[in-house]
Amino acid sequence: MHDEKALFLHLAEGDEEAFRQLFHHYNKMLQPYVFKLTRSSQAAEEVLQEVFLKLWQHRKRLAAVDDPKAYLIRIVSNESINYLRGLARDEKLFAFIRPLLTVESPSPEQTIFYHETEKQVHEAVERLPLACRRIYRMSREELKRIPEIASELNLSHSTVKNQLVKALKSIRLHIGNIVPFLLFLFLNRR
């Protein structure tokens, strides 16, 4: 591998080859570290995808980085913590909702809550950028797999995967902001 500082400088200028070299070198190196933090190979992959996406999006800042390895490890650590926080938040929400779910027919409140949540998901999907929305719908509504979507849209697998991660993150964020408020309203109605 070339000098990491030089690769960061090339990447800051938008050099895709420098990005590929960094990605292939550090992805393999950081995978065990992220797996140890998240205890999930899927989560590790998601975290690393997000790290490299951010690295590319904020590449102009990389020219000022003195220690590329330390910089990447810090980003990976922060992104892993963010992932685990999101997971904990989702688990807390599910633990709160679980008692509301029953095998019997849903109560009117549960039905309203379900429909309102469904509406919020639809709203969140509509707010996605057009390309991201299309990939999300192909995956979730048409039940197409990543290779099928990539082939049909003439995109790389990683682009499709990144767009799905972006879509799900955006939807989770939108729902995460709305659902606690809805729960409060429905649980305190009388």
> pLDDT value at position 48?
92
Task: Tell me the average pLDDT of the chain.
Answer: 82
In a domain, 98, yes or no: no
Sign of CA dihedral 94, 139, 20, 169: negative
DSSP 188: T
Tell me the average pLDDT across 95-123.
Answer: 71
In a domain, 97, yes or no: no
CATH number reported for the structural domain that contains residue 169 in this entry: 1.10.10.10
Q: Each residue of 126-172: pLDDT tens digit?
A: 999 999 999 988 988 888 889 999 999 999 999 999 998 998 888 88
Q: Each residue of 37-50: pLDDT tens digit?
A: 888 888 888 899 98
Note down the domain range covering 124.
105-187
**What are all long-range contacts of 70-76, with beta carbons under 8 Å and residues at least 24 apart?**
72/26, 72/30, 73/30, 73/33, 75/51, 76/30, 76/33, 76/34, 76/47, 76/48, 76/51
Residue for token pair 């000098």: 3
24 and 75 fall within a common domain: yes
d(CA 147, CA 155) in angstroms, rounded, equals: 9
In a domain, 167, yes or no: yes
> pLDDT value at position 190?
42
Q: Which residue has the higher pLDDT, 54 or 188?
A: 54
143 and 178 fall within a common domain: yes
128 and 78 fall within a common domain: no
Percent of the chain with pLDDT over 90: 22
Answer for the pair 79, 47: CB distance below 8 angstroms, yes or no.
Answer: yes
* The model's pTM: 0.50
73 and 125 fall within a common domain: no
CA 170 from centroid of its chain's CA atoms:
8
Which helix (H) or strand (E) segment is 126 a member of?
helix 108-127
Tell me the average pLDDT across 22-51.
Answer: 88
> pLDDT value at position 153?
92
d(CA 152, CA 134) in angstroms, rounded, equals: 12
Q: Residues 6 or more apart from 145 whose CB is under 8 A from it? A: 139
75 and 15 fall within a common domain: yes
Q: Whats the size of the chain, residue-wise?
A: 190
